[in-house]
Amino acid sequence: MSKILIRGAKVLGGEPQDVLIDGQTIAQVGVGLSADGAEVVEADGKVLLPGLVDLHTHLREPGREDSETVLTGTRAAASGGYTAVFAMANTFPVADTAGVVEQVYRLGQEHGYCDVQPIGAVTVGLEGTKLAELGAMHESAAGVTVFSDDGKCVDDAVIMRRALEYVKAFGGVVAQHAQEPRLTEGAQMNEGVVSAELGLGGWPAVAEESIIARDVLLAEHVGSRVHICHLSTAGSVEIVRWAKSRGIDVTAEVTPHHLLLTDELVRTYNPVYKVNPPLRTERDVMALREALADGTIDIVATDHAPHPHEDKDCEWAAAAMGMVGLETALSVVQQTMVETGLLDWAGVADRMSFKPARIGQAQGHGRPVSAGEPASLTLVDTAYRGAVDPAGFASRSRNTPYEGRELPGRVTHTWLRGKATLVDGKLA
């Protein structure tokens, strides 16, 4: 097996060190390391992180390969520094059986850019009326541990309770898309001053907060785990903070775009800013940043949602909801959390690798950068500054809200168990 010597990297943002990879594992971490015949990567003070883990990715395959495939999505993930992604279940067919989740899992293994862990649907067809084959998906080769109807809310309290009870048997978790459906009928954007001025249907904060409040109480009642997808309001933060103080086993994620963008951008009527949950207010953005910093929000997850050009280049009301995010997530986190002093790089590693791996039980990921650990690593040039050019994306889709915006940081190298998937910013 080949040896790779990463020279002078700031491991988790600390003092420069050398890291020697031998085969699939980290052999040594120290100063002044050498190894005969090793390929040398001069890190020059770049930051070395454990490979990033995304608990919330839409790969679209099977069924919408015009948007994304497992291959293009995992190439995008490798470009963004990810070594593992969890693929959401809202495909066609829906990932609600052992057969579909095994198909997605095996495609990830075949392509080799990134480990793909399928997320199983909570209910058959995402219809919210009958539990899917949760046990069969868990016992399949894909070993599903996370279940979600993302894109739709499990709004029936009895179904949600039964799902929480079921996954408890094998330590699984239900990831909830918190959206009370009746309160968001016809919603186009965040309900507030801007929606009133634009005359667009509002998506009120209480539609998210009421479901989160219900679900943390259900999780407490049955003694199970619940994870809140793309939390977006200051009120949701307060509910999760209260639930954790009470000892309820709840975790939560925030997307990069909810850490940076506000509903003021909707004034452009550019559908690239149309997303679910919607962009919120500046007050919400600040609350989300503080909650991610203090640990109330556990992780950053991309909600990478690729769409073909024709689904976004249309009038606002007809446009699909969602943004791509795998290739820009770390840059947004650097700008909003590191350069504001809210998190250091060890904190970024915690929120984007260690904790998401732990929540999703991603074996071999989210591990320390130390001898004997899997060599799944990400090298970041934090001094880089540049405008986002979606033409260079590895994703099949280009629906990014950051086109032309200058963002800091660039992933230069990604290794998956010692195999380079990104070298000098180019896919291997």
Per DSSP bridges, beta strands 25-30 and 52-57 are: unpaired
Question: pLDDT (tens digit, 9 = 90+) per residue, 169-186?
Answer: 999 999 999 999 999 999
**So what's the pLDDT on residue 240?**
98
Interhelix angle 205-222/157-168, rounded to 10 degrees, is: 40
How far from the centroid of its chain's Cα atoms is residue 413's Cα?
Answer: 19
Buried b / exposed e over 195-228, threshold 16 CB at 10 Å, is beebebebbbbebbbbbbbbbbebbbebebbbbb
Tokens read off for 284: 């919400």
In which residue ranges of the chain is pLDDT below 50?
A: none
**So what's the pLDDT on residue 1?**
52
Residue 307 annotated as part of some ligand binding site: yes
**So what's the pLDDT on residue 2?**
86
Annotated catalytic residue 303: yes
What's the pTM value of the predicted model, to 2 decimals? 0.98
* Residue whose pair of structure tokens reads 């790089």 in the numeric block: 345
DSSP class of 95 = S
Q: Which residues contact 321 (CB under 8 A, 6 or more apart)?
A: 274, 275, 276, 305
Nearest-angstrom CA–CA distance, 278 and 175: 18
Question: Which residues on adjacent β-strands are paired with residue 12?
Answer: none
Nearest-angstrom CA–CA distance, 64 and 111: 18
Question: Which residues on adjacent β-strands are paired with residue 374?
Answer: 25
**So what's the pLDDT on residue 59?**
98
Residue 399 annotated as part of some ligand binding site: no
Question: Choosing from 18, 115, 298, 303, which is the catalytic residue?
Answer: 303
Residue 410 annotated as part of some ligand binding site: no
Q: Which residues contact 40 (CB under 8 A, 6 or more apart)?
A: 4, 5, 7
- What is the phi/psi pair of residue 378, to 5°? -135, 130
Residue 190 annotated as part of some ligand binding site: no
Residue 177 annotated as part of some ligand binding site: yes
Tokens read off for 227: 């994870």
Amino acid at 120: G
**So what's the pLDDT on residue 285?**
98
